[in-house]
Amino acid sequence: MAINYSCFIEFDSKRSLQEQVREYLVKAILEGVFSADEALPSCRKLSSQLKVSRNTVSLVYEGLADDGYLISKPRSGYYLSEKYSLRLEEVEQELDHFEADNPSNAPNWSHRLKVSTDQFPRIVKPSHWSCYQYPFIYGQPSINDFPLAQWRESTRKVIADPNDHGWLCDKVDKDVELLVEQIRTRVLPQRGIHAKSDEILITVGSQNALYLVSQLLMDKHTRVGVENPGYKEANNIFSLAQAQLHPHTVDQDGLMLNELSPMCDYFYVTPSHQAPTGVTMSKQRRQDLLQMAQKNDAIIIEDDYDSDSNSEWAPLPALKALDKDNRVIYVSSFSKILAPGLRLGYIVAPEELIYELRTLRRLMYRHPPSRVQMEMAHFISQAITTAS
């Protein structure tokens, strides 16, 4: 089969050749590029076309055979396995014929929905955002700046330890103690926060933390003071819990209290780097908010959004650091400082609340992946050691 594969493989020097050759061959198989009756190009021929070693192609073919994409015939070469021998168009035609011969009696899901998500705008980001000359796309990291070598070392430590494969096990509702300890002793003190291990819960990001809190503490009678303008997804989460939202204007000093403030059961604020304006809440506004909460028995949900990248030379301590009455639920994540794709965050709150949140989390997804937690713990430890 005379196909010049180099026409559609642009090798990335940061990834292994074997991985990239496999990726594109799988794509070609699924798109029906290869004939079911002909052998795939020999290792020698394909390696010559791609300008890679014959051993690389041989390993890829062997791997594809192990995974069921190909079958090896002695003295003949590699062929498509039976389930991949149909072209994609032929598969779609078979499905169309099947559906025509078997009218659907599927349920009407729209009638069964208890909550319609149409009220919440979809988040749409270009799939090829990284190819833009100036990729100013919200919520995406600079791939080239990610400390890949350090993260690989953290991954190696986790996987290589023959005496500790605990990340393979179900921990039910427990978090990785090493990560909790790193957050407690290395991360939180930098924000002026001191907490016990039982006052920390690992989440799959700040948004997940807000969802857990809202599901546990809010209903249609709950009044939440929110920033205006503010973080839309937080508002969506609180609305999903049927809470009543009371907007509070944001100026150059942060959230401004108003006549609705005394009626609020909760306040949701991003004081370190307000979303979306970027302003920092002043010391006086922080004191005013804490006093308002204390006077009216309200709770403050502090989302320490983007505090690590605050441009101030001496950023203010977290609102939680000023809290003397345990009225602040502190939420943060590693999304901005490291990478959002890792999906790791945490909540700091009174022990009795963390206990309830942990139980709710267990009912949803048990716990965040233990391996990622362990890798993050080693990464933080490595970063601190390097810095010192």
User: Domain check: are 41 and 170 in the same one?
Assistant: no
Give the pLDDT confidence score for residue 361 in this predicted structure. Answer: 96
User: Domain check: are 183 and 279 in the same one?
Assistant: yes
Residue for token digits 């100013």? 136
Give a yes or no: residue 227 inside a domain.
yes
Radius of gyration of the chain (CA): 27
Work out the angle at residue 225's Cα, subtended by the Cα atoms of residues 355 and 256, and round it to the nearest 5 degrees: 130
pLDDT in tens, 47-98: 888 889 999 999 999 999 999 999 999 889 999 988 777 655 565 676 677 6
Give the pLDDT confidence score for residue 2 in this predicted structure. Answer: 46
Give a yes or no: residue 290 inside a domain.
yes
CA distance 72 to 66: 10
Give 203's DSSP letter: E
User: Domain check: are 251 and 359 in the same one?
Assistant: yes
Give the pLDDT confidence score for residue 347 in this predicted structure. Answer: 98
CA distance 368 to 150: 21
Sort 317 into a burial class: Cβ within 10 Å, 0-12 / 13-18 / 19+: middle
Give a yes or no: residue 134 inside a domain.
no
Give the pLDDT confidence score for residue 373 in this predicted structure. Answer: 93
With beta carbons less than 8 A apart as the criterion, state whether 205 and 237 touch: no
User: Domain check: are 212 and 324 in the same one?
Assistant: yes
DSSP line for 44-99: HHHHHHHTS-HHHHHHHHHHHHHTTSEEEETTTEEEE-GGG-S-HHHHHHHHHHHH
Give the pLDDT confidence score for residue 149 in this predicted structure. Answer: 85
How far is C-alpha 239 from the chain's CA centre? 22
At which of 59, 84, 109 does a domain end? 84
CA distance 193 to 297: 22
User: Domain check: are 326 and 228 in the same one?
Assistant: yes
User: Domain check: are 80 and 176 in the same one?
Assistant: no
Tally the domains of the chain: 2
CA distance 333 to 341: 11
At which of 67, 84, 101 does a domain end? 84
Q: Which long-range contacts (CB under 8 A, 24 or more apart) does 114-119 make?
A: 115/240, 119/239
Q: Per-10-residue mean pLDDT for the chain, 388 residues long?
A: 53 86 88 82 89 92 92 91 69 67 79 86 75 73 79 87 78 92 95 97 97 98 98 95 98 97 98 93 97 98 82 79 96 87 94 98 94 92 60
Domain, as residue range, for 348? 149-387
User: Domain check: are 323 and 247 in the same one?
Assistant: yes
What are residue 254's DSSP bridge partners?
251
Tell me: cis bond preceding 276? Omega within 30 of 0 counts.
yes
With beta carbons less than 8 A apart as the criterion, state whether 30 and 41 touch: no
User: Domain check: are 59 and 168 in the same one?
Assistant: no
Give the pLDDT confidence score for residue 192 in this predicted structure. Answer: 96
| Residue 255 belongs to domain with CATH number | 3.40.640.10
DSSP line for 324-356: SSS-EEEEEESTTTT-GGG--EEEE--HHHHHH
Q: How far is CA 246 from CA 90, 212, 237, 296, in A?
A: 56, 20, 14, 16
pLDDT in tens, 342-353: 899 999 999 999
| Residue 21 belongs to domain with CATH number | 1.10.10.10
Give the pLDDT confidence score for residue 313 in this predicted structure. Answer: 59
Give a yes or no: residue 140 inside a domain.
no
Give the pLDDT confidence score for residue 88 in this predicted structure. Answer: 54
With beta carbons less than 8 A apart as the criterion, state whether 296 and 323 touch: no
Give a yes or no: residue 216 inside a domain.
yes
Give a yes or no: residue 278 inside a domain.
yes
At which of 84, 104, 126 does a domain end? 84
If DSSP codes are grouped into helix, strand and coil, which group holds residue 172?
A: coil
User: Domain check: are 163 and 302 in the same one?
Assistant: yes
Give the pLDDT confidence score for residue 1 in this predicted structure. Answer: 47
User: Domain check: are 276 and 174 in the same one?
Assistant: yes
Which secondary structure element, helix H or strand E, spans residue 384, and what is its range? helix 370-387
Q: How far is CA 167 from CA 343, 377, 381, in A?
A: 16, 13, 18
User: Domain check: are 201 and 70 in the same one?
Assistant: no
Residue for token digits 């190009």? 41
Give a yes or no: residue 94 inside a domain.
no
User: Domain check: are 75 and 158 in the same one?
Assistant: no
Give a yes or no: residue 211 inside a domain.
yes
Give the pLDDT confidence score for residue 177 in this predicted structure. Answer: 94
